[in-house]
């Protein structure tokens, strides 16, 4: 789609400008992006824009990622992607372009900043000054989107939490908190239930926290956090969360400050960063001059700060406060709040920027390391890893006792059937007739002595002669710790 050419007055300063990649977005994306870039030009932001194809039209044109080859080349050259909202089909169709972009370019930390903006109506009364930053892990969790139909009745989604990925987002969070002058970082989790996955996320949080003794580190259950954010959000400073929980609670926090239209977002990686509006594409108001550019503009000022353009960001935000105050002010006590108009917003922003002092400063180009292969993130291997059994996931409409009678004779070489569960709850050797079951069982075979995986493969072959196998998982002891969970009700 080419490069937007700056005005003649800027030509003389081209040596001080930097090129970033811009994707206009779907739905109202082009409207809010055009307004934002007009404001940047009025503020004399020293950037050039390489506008690339990305989003729904690219996906429907045959590129399932929604990211054209020229867009990949541009982002990997500039190191910065500034993008409008992009549409994601529900249930079917191509995968989320937003998630694909974050994962493709390793933007592992999603940073969102929440504060009350002058003139913006908010649904709850917030005590004190709100200066909340939330960091959501951006790559892992259920957003790996590794899903399978195990039976015609049972769908499975695998959840990945890794030690290196957790360390990465926690290290970024503490470094960012230190720069912000934060005194407290809180880790949100559900480690009481997901003891292995959220447990690992929480464990690495406290490991990283030891390197930042000047910052108080604590943790909170994610359900309790949801309540406390509504009751007293100003009591928190910086919060870090796993991906799915972070997705939900960052939107909740956005609601506290007026909605996603007022919530900026930055996706931070080691080499490439993505700044975007996280609200929807609003197809119902496309072309009606009703789109609110605030979220994208605030994401843009986060980008400017990332590029070292602090003064430009501050001047734009000051103009934004004045503009929003005007946009949401009643003309008189007898009139309703005027309808939000994109053109009016842009007009007011440009007017306020005209009154601002001249801004100078050149951007600092991000470093994008050239890579031939992905970076491998692997921590030291524990001294002892022992294979002790296998969980076999199988399909059957039989009752648990009948399943056990067919499986018990298959155990050999020290392997014996120790447990059968259904939907995570033990149904054999003990259980309740009131536990309702589906046609998807987990049968656990264990040994008291270390095994070779070929013994487990041989067991799977014997089970396959009796039942359809949906999947299997090795049972390992890692560094003296059990590397697999017990079933509900299993001793």
3-state secondary structure 341-358: CHHHHHHHHHHHHHCCCC
Nearest to 419 by CA among 453, 392, 385, 388: 392
Q: Environment class of residue 271 by beta-carbon count within 10 Å: exposed (0-12), middle (13-18) or buried (19+)? A: middle
Assign 334 a pLDDT band (cuts: 50, 70, 90): low
User: Does pLDDT of 392 surpass 90?
Assistant: yes
Fold of 385-482: Alpha-Beta Plaits (3.30.70)
Q: Looking at residue 197, what is its pLDDT?
A: 96
Class at the top of the CATH hierarchy for domain 1-103+270-377: alpha beta
pLDDT tens string 199-258 = 999 999 999 999 999 999 999 999 999 999 999 999 999 999 999 999 999 999 999 999
User: Does pLDDT of 332 surpass 70?
Assistant: no
- Structure token pair of residue 41: 């030009």
User: Does pLDDT of 365 surpass 90?
Assistant: no
Give the mean model confidence (pLDDT) for residues 262-290.
93
Annotated domain spans of the chain: 1-103+270-377, 123-256, 385-482
Assign 413 a pLDDT band (cuts: 50, 70, 90): confident
Same topology between domain 123-256 and domain 385-482: no
Higher pLDDT, 5 or 236: 236
Q: List all residues 6 or more positions away from 453 whose beta carbon is below 8 Å from its beta carbon.
A: 387, 474
Contact status, residue 378 vs residue 418, Cβ threshold 8 Å: no
Contact status, residue 353 vs residue 315, Cβ threshold 8 Å: yes
Contact status, residue 209 vs residue 185, Cβ threshold 8 Å: yes
- Please state which of the four CATH numbers 3.90.180.10, 3.20.20.70, 3.40.630.10, 3.40.718.10 is assigned to the domain occupying 123-256: 3.40.718.10
Give the mean model confidence (pLDDT) for residues 361-389.
85
The pTM assigned to this predicted structure is 0.89
Dihedral sign of CA atoms 348, 352, 358, 361 in order: negative
Question: Hey, how many other C-beta atoms are within 10 angstroms of the C-beta on 461?
Answer: 11
pLDDT tens string 145-194 = 899 999 999 999 999 999 999 999 999 999 999 999 999 999 999 999 99
Contact status, residue 40 vs residue 9, Cβ threshold 8 Å: no
User: Does pLDDT of 110 surpass 60?
Assistant: yes
């Amino acid at each position: 789609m080419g490069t937007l050419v700056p005005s003649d007055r800027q030509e003389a300063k081209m040596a001080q400008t930097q090129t970033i990649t811009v994707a206009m977005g779907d739905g109202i994306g082009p409207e809010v992006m055009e307004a934002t870039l007009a404001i940047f030009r009025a503020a004399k932001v020293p950037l050039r824009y390489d506008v690339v194809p990305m989003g729904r039209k690219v996906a429907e044109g045959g590129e399932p990622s929604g990211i054209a080859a020229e867009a990949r080349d541009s982002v990997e050259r500039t190191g910065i992607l500034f993008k409008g909202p992009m549409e994601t089909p529900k249930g079917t169709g191509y995968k989320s372009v937003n998630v694909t972009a974050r994962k493709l370019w390793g933007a592992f930390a999603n940073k969102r900043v929440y504060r009350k903006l002058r003139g913006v109506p908010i649904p709850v009364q917030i005590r004190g000054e709100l200066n909340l930053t939330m960091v959501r892990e951006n790559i892992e969790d259920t957003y790996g989107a590794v899903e399978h139909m195990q039976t015609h009745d049972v769908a499975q989604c695998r959840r990945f939490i890794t030690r290196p990925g957790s360390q990465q987002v926690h290290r970024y969070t503490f470094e960012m908190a230190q720069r912000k002058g934060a005194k407290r970082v809180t880790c949100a989790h559900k480690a009481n239930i997901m003891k292995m996955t959220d447990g690992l996320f929480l464990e690495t949080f406290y490991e990283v926290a030891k390197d930042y003794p000047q910052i108080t580190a604590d943790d909170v259950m994610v359900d309790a956090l949801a309540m406390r954010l509504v009751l007293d959000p100003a009591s928190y400073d910086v919060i870090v969360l796993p991906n799915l929980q972070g997705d939900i609670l960052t939107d909740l926090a956005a609601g506290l400050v007026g909605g996603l239209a007022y919530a900026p977002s930055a996706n931070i990686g080691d080499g490439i960063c993505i700044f975007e509006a996280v609200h929807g594409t609003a197809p119902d108001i496309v072309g009606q001059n009703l789109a609110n550019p605030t979220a994208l503009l605030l994401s843009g000022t986060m980008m400017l700060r990332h590029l070292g353009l602090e003064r430009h960001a501050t001047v734009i935000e000051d103009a934004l406060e004045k503009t929003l105050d005007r946009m949401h002010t009643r003309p008189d006590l007898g009139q309703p709040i005027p309808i939000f108009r994109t053109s009016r917003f842009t007009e007011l922003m440009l007017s306020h920027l005209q009154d601002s002092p001249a801004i100078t400063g050149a951007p600092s180009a991000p470093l994008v390391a050239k890579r031939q292969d992905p970076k491998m993130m692997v921590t030291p291997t524990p001294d002892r890893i022992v294979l002790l059994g296998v969980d076999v996931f199988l399909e059957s409409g039989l009752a648990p006792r009948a399943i056990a009678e067919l499986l018990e004779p298959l155990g050999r070489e020290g392997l014996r059937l120790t447990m059968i569960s259904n939907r995570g709850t033990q149904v054999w050797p003990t259980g309740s007739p009131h536990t309702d079951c589906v046609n998807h069982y987990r049968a656990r075979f264990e040994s008291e002595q270390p095994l070779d995986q070929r013994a487990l493969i041989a067991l799977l072959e014997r089970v396959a002669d009796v039942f359809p196998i949906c999947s299997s998982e090795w049972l390992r002891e890692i560094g003296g710790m059990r590397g697999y969970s017990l079933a509900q009700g299993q001793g």
